[in-house]
Amino acid sequence: MDLHLNQTNMKTVFLRYWCALLLLGTVIPSMGQNNLRYGTSAIPAVVRSPYTYYDVLRVSSKGWLQQTFNTTASAWEDYEKTKNLKNADGDFTEIDTKYWVDGSSSWETEYQTNYQYQKDANNKVIEMIFDVQSAFDTYTVRYIYTYDQNRLSEVEVAFKSGGTFFPSTHSFIKYNNLGQRVKDSLVDVNTAEAVSSREYEYDNNGNCIKELGWGKMVDNSWDTTMVAQQEYFAGGKLKRRIYGFQNAQGDIMENFYDEYTYTNTGNVDVYTTFIKQNATSPANPFMYYKHYYNGQNKLQTIVSKTFSLAMNRWNNDDSILLNYVTAGGAYDTSYIHTGANNGIDWSANPTDRLVFEKNATGIKQVASSKLNMNAYPNPAATELFVEISTVVDVETTLTLTDLTGKVLRTTEVDLLTGQANTIKMDLSGIPQGLYLLHAGNQTVKLVKE
């Protein structure tokens, strides 16, 4: 069978895939964009995809408007729009998505989600309630969070019916003595039985190298439901992530895998997602999406290819080129050019565009009151462990300097709310004395002995 898709179908699939890259973070804001609210996170912070300029636009905007170009009318026409509202802490309070109906010349709501929070004295979320209204369903869900030593330890999920919340599942999260998340367990409240679990393994540098998912089958036996392995470059940046299922022999059925390359300055260069034709043959993917960046973490091009078994070759499918235009610092517009079927033959005019309205409340900047840092042991000899917690997702840099400000060590840290973020720092070769450890606006004095 020839798996090559025709140009029209591929363009539809590809544009939906590309738009899904933006919508994923808002459809499920609790898992990836803002705070780690769910008890079972499929991907720990250490194996998240590289954070790029496109992500910054998505998560720090009030919303965006998607438009398509009508060549007959020579005008841009509305297609879909999304609204993101946040509070002062960077938590989402409302997310709306609407689509334009030509027949009625009006906007129709696809879904609307409203969030309510309760926080403790440390500004940690202890309860979140969100109401979802869509064209297909309306429901209310409550999450209750329990912490142990500043780490998320339990999550209870309850659904509302007739004005009353009925607990559905309870998640338990375990950490090792280094503060690394090692196991998530999901229990059915009604039967008091475990129904699934996720285990994590780490290397000596604190990188998560394996995830193993378990689930209860119909016959009440337990079996692996997913497995993933991660490889890293020497500096700790993610190189490859392989994920799929595991067979009876313990081999990974590699249905999907991602590969990453970076520039010499540490910015993402190329990110590729492969989809496997034969799960037992890692050398034979039948489709891939390759994302190219401009060296400054700006997503520029997405190229898709499918493999033709009949022709025994790779076929070029529709590709996407992104151009960014900033207007007055308040808006960023990304123009989308789609390529021809055989090679990247860009059209003179873009076919689609997204206009982002920037939000004053972003998640890239975290005030000192929202970020906590603990370094131990202090005094330290050859190695130091730094535990950082925050109430919002954030990228930050952990820096060790002497009293003159000279930088001795630096580490990029991708912090995820509710998850233990423990970084190991090698102090070998640093003379005895007093030093300063910086993260965001926080500074800790360190004694090297």
CATH of the domain at 387: 2.60.40.1930
The gap from C-alpha 93 to its chain's centroid, in whole angstroms, comes to: 19
Counting Cα atoms < 13 Å in the Cβ hemisphere of 129 gives: 10
Domain-embedded: residue 114: yes
Residues 432 and 307 in one domain: no
For residue 47, the 8-state DSSP code is G
The dihedrals phi and psi of 27, each to the nearest 5 degrees, come to -70, -40
Which has more confidence, 208 or 131?
A: 131
Q: Which of 340, 358, 376 is the last residue of a domain?
A: 358
Contact 5, 317 (CB under 8 A): yes
DSSP H or E run through 153: strand 151-161
Does residue 142 contact residue 131 with C-beta atoms inside 8 Å? no
In a domain, 175, yes or no: yes
Looking at the fold, whether 317 and 430 belong to one and the same domain comes out as no
- Interval 426-447 mean pLDDT: 82
Residue pLDDT, tens place only, 103-155: 888 999 999 999 999 998 878 889 999 999 988 889 999 999 998 887 888 99
Using alpha carbons, select from 141, 170, 175 the residue that is nearest to residue 155: 170
User: What pLDDT score does 418 carry?
Assistant: 45
Are 92 and 392 within 8 A, CB to CB? Answer: no
d(CA 255, CA 289): 14
Q: How many domains does the chain have?
A: 2
Same domain, 331 and 428: no
Let me know whether 299 and 438 are in one domain: no
- Domain membership of residue 397 (yes or no) is yes
For the cut 60, the answer to whether the pLDDT of residue 369 exceeds it is: no
Task: Specify the pLDDT at position 108.
Answer: 92
Q: Which of 44, 124, 101 is closest to 420 using CA atoms?
A: 44
CA distance 171 to 185: 5
Higher pLDDT, 438 or 66: 66
Domain-ending residue, one of 335, 358, 381: 358
**Residues 335 and 225 reside in one and the same domain:** yes
Residue 328's contacts (CB-CB under 8 Å, 6 or more residues apart) are none
287 within domain boundaries: yes
pLDDT of amino acid 253 = 55
Looking at the fold, whether 387 and 444 belong to one and the same domain comes out as: yes
- Alpha helices for 262-352 (secondary structure H): none
Residue 309 falls inside a structural domain: yes
172 and 219 part of one domain = yes
Q: Say what the pLDDT of residue 169 is.
A: 92
Q: Is there a single domain that holds both residue 79 and residue 192?
A: yes
Q: Are strands 371-376 and 383-390 parallel, antiparallel or unpaired?
A: antiparallel
In the listed set 327, 358, 389, which residue is the last one of a domain according to the structure? 358
Task: Identify the domain containing residue 351 by its residue range.
Answer: 7-358
Question: Could you tell me if 277 and 400 lie in one domain?
Answer: no
Residues β-bridged to residue 141: 130, 159
What residues pair up with 409 in beta bridges, in sequence order?
400
pLDDT at 351: 84
The answer to whether residues 76 and 193 belong to one domain is: yes
Alpha-carbon torsion (12, 14, 18, 24), positive or negative? positive
Of residues 421 and 194, more confidently modeled: 194
Q: Which residue has the tokens 């973020």?
A: 421
- 390 confidence band (pLDDT: 50, 70, 90): low
Would 363 be classed as within a structural domain? no
pLDDT of residue 251: 56
**Mean pLDDT throughout 185-210?**
88
Average pLDDT for 378-398: 73
